[in-house]
């Protein structure tokens, strides 16, 4: 079950079970609709993202950033009118990017959706997403994008109302400025979740607040944190290093991972601790989804029974694949790049007999 309410990425377990181009618009005369036309088998990994989200990612010249409210590099909520205004202005501020066939990409977004889509499309793992999308054009795009990637949509509800959107502006240096519109978006509520939603699920990614209380509950099997999240986790301590954060996380869950961007990652399971470098061959165009795809690769490694270090190496391959183009969705060419990197490192490539 995945949610985007909080700072860390966790795999949570349930008692008795291990948890850890647009289609035609959806019907507008229904308040709630579940997509039951997708994969019949229960997903191995289910992601909970209460609100479906559409990302509009564009590479722009920095002059546009001076014209929109809020500081550069941050993520500040905006009203739908402001989001539409920014999208209109983007058309005259797009930077040409020869390696990327499209200077602006629109796709399903959100940390959970990025991870689940990557696991399904790139690794062939049966995954589902639990949440709600609106009965608008953006909701149709979310369904189309996730469904075409092989994601099980049987637990995705369609509700009357708008789907969340986010504009992600990437400057020439790869820095991101995000303006999400979330306030009026449809959302799945806790009381709407049923046992049937989790039938057959073996692993669930989850974001919860407060993070510390959740970690100390003993219900978390796996936790991912990036460098900033790790520092925030230990803000009241003298030592806020990634290593210190890793030790703290490892006390409360079986697998603890701290990602370090271009410096790779640290991971610990029991007494084993590894440091794995990032892939030097990855040319960074946009870092959107890097941590999400790393998590997907790591989870694939766990599903395959790989060692801690191998899980991390798969994660660096998948994380490195998504930063080679705009947005949090890996292109077919970059999936092939990832498979090649995995072969070079002696890792099991999805779909190939080992």
Strands (E), the chain: 9-12, 32-34, 45-51, 53-59, 104-109, 127-134, 156-159, 164-170, 176-181, 203-206, 220-226, 255-259, 265-269, 272-276
pLDDT for 217: 73
In the predicted model, what is the mean pLDDT of residues 270-277?
A: 96
pLDDT band at 17 (very low <50, low <70, confident <90, very high): very low
Does the pLDDT at position 205 exceed 70?
no
Chain position carrying tokens 């989790």: 198
Minimal CA–CA distance to 74: which of 175, 163, 174, 148?
Answer: 175
What's the pLDDT at 207? Answer: 39
In the prediction, which pLDDT does 34 show? 59
pTM: 0.82
**pLDDT average, residue stretch 304-313:** 97
**Measured distance CA(3)–CA(230) in Å, rounded:** 19
pLDDT in tens, 22-71: 223 233 333 456 564 444 578 999 999 999 999 999 999 989 998 888 88
pLDDT at 284: 82
Could you report the per-residue pLDDT of 83-102, keeping only the tens digit for each?
Answer: 999 999 998 898 866 555 56
What band does 280 get if pLDDT is binned at 50, 70 and 90? Answer: confident
- Give the tokens for residue 91: 């058309």
> Does residue 240 register a pLDDT over 90?
no
């Amino acid at each position: 079950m995945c949610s985007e309410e909080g700072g860390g990425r966790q795999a949570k377990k349930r008692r008795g079970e291990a948890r850890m181009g647009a289609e035609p618009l959806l019907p507008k005369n229904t308040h709630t609709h579940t997509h039951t036309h997708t994969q019949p088998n229960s997903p191995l990994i289910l992601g909970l993202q209460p609100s479906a989200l559409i990302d509009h990612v564009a590479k722009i010249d920095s002059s546009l950033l001076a014209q929109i409210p809020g500081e550069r590099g941050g993520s500040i909520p905006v009203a739908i009118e402001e989001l539409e205004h920014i999208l209109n202005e983007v058309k005259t501020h797009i930077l040409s990017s020869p390696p990327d066939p499209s200077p602006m990409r629109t796709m399903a977004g959100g940390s959970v959706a990025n991870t689940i889509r990557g696991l399904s499309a790139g690794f062939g793992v049966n995954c589902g997403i639990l949440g709600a999308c609106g009965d608008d054009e953006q909701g149709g795009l979310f369904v189309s994008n996730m469904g075409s990637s092989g994601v099980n949509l049987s637990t995705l509800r369609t509700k009357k109302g708008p789907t969340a959107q986010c504009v992600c502006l990437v400057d020439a240096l790869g820095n991101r400025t995000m303006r999400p519109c979330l306030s009026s978006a449809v959302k799945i509520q806790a009381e709407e979740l049923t046992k049937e939603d989790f039938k057959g699920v073996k692993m669930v990614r989850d974001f919860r607040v407060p993070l510390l209380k959740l970690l100390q509950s003993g219900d978390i099997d796996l936790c991912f944190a990036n460098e900033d999240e790790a520092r925030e986790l230990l803000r009241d301590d003298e030592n806020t290093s990634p290593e210190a954060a890793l030790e703290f996380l490892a006390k409360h869950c079986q697998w603890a991972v701290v990602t370090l961007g271009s410096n790779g990652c640290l991971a610990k399971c029991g007494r084993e601790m590894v440091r794995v470098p990032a892939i030097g061959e990855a040319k960074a165009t946009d870092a959107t989804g890097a941590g999400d795809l790393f998590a997907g690769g790591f989870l694939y490694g766990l599903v395959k029974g790989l060692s801690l270090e191998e899980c991390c190496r798969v994660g660096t391959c998948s994380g490195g694949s998504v930063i080679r183009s705009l947005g949090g969705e890996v292109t077919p060419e970059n999936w092939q790049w990832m498979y090649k990197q995995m072969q070079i490192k002696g890792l099991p490539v999805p779909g190939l007999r080992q």
